Amino acid sequence: MVKGVLLDLSGVLYDGDRPVPGAVEAVARLREAGLPVRFLTNSTRSPRRKLLEKLRKMGFELEDDELFTPASAACELLAKRELKAHLLIHPDLEEDFEGVEGTDSPGAVVVGDAGPYFTFDALNAAFRVLSEGAAFYALAANRSFRDADGKLSMDAGAFVAALEYASGTEAEVLGKPAKAFFAAALDDMGVEESEAAIIGDDAESDVAGALRAGLGRAVLVQTGKYREGDETGTDPAPSHVAADLSTAVVWLLS
């Protein structure tokens, strides 16, 4: 029996600046059924503040602490380990790292989806810090995402892989599919892994990643970045494939 639901954002709740048809009502139906809901995203171009504003403007109702982002996880980790970070992120995300203090010299490199700011100079600067022995944290390592023009664009994963190859340092991924990222949201709901479900459009990070982390069910929706055949290319395979969030919720509640 499902006792809590995790929801991806882009491609599941909305595409670009528009909610997926029926998504607002689907989230409301989960809440009406008495199921706690948490929102998880690997988006690292927009700060937490703007993501919350975007969701509420579209009609989704949520509390601030119901949204879990890789940047928040990174800040907690940096503070816990007292590390100063060398950031390779989009400038819009910098506000999420304000107030994080550490040692005088960077003890960690943090990489997010910097988009057009993934220049050679920026990548090389991060490489040099890693070469000096810094820890390596990737906010996410997704292959692609559905961009504003409706087409797929490269995500941060390729750039994380390039830095891993050049430096010989493996990155610790802080967002999905990291088990700790799922666990933080589940702990907040007070729900065991086996009693939780996730709904996402990424067969690798959302679905297979969640199942490997111990979640009981993972539903892949055919919206967002989904491409025909995605459900056959991952291990474990999705628990269910649904046309969209609305039909995914109907399946979970049944």
- Compare 175 and 146 and report the one with higher pLDDT: 175
The DSSP H or E segment spanning 246 is helix 245-253
Domain boundaries, the chain: 4-42+176-253, 70-173
The amino acid present at 211, given as its one-letter code, is L
Tell me how far apart the alpha carbons of residues 161 and 196 are, in angstroms, rounded to a whole number.
Answer: 31
Q: Helix/strand/coil (H, E, C) string of 27-58?
A: HHHHHHCCCCEEEECCCCCCCHHHHHHHHHHH
Q: From 177, 171, 182, select the one nearest 110 (Cα to Cα).
A: 171
pLDDT tens per residue across span 178-209: 999 999 999 999 999 999 999 999 999 999 99
pLDDT tens per residue across span 85-114: 999 999 999 999 998 877 767 899 999 999
Angle between helices 70-81 and 179-189 in degrees, nearest 10: 100
Tell me how far apart the alpha carbons of residues 187 and 205 are, in angstroms, rounded to a whole number.
Answer: 20
Q: What share of the chain in percent tops pLDDT 90?
A: 92
Q: Which CATH number fits domain 4-42+176-253: 3.40.50.1000, 1.20.1250.20, 3.40.1190.10, 2.20.25.240?
A: 3.40.50.1000
Tell me how far apart the alpha carbons of residues 224 and 16 are, in angstroms, rounded to a whole number.
Answer: 9
**SS3 state of residue 171:** coil
The amino acid present at 145, given as its one-letter code, is F
pTM of the model: 0.91
Q: Which CATH number fits domain 70-173: 3.40.50.1000, 1.10.3720.10, 2.40.340.10, 3.30.70.420?
A: 3.40.50.1000
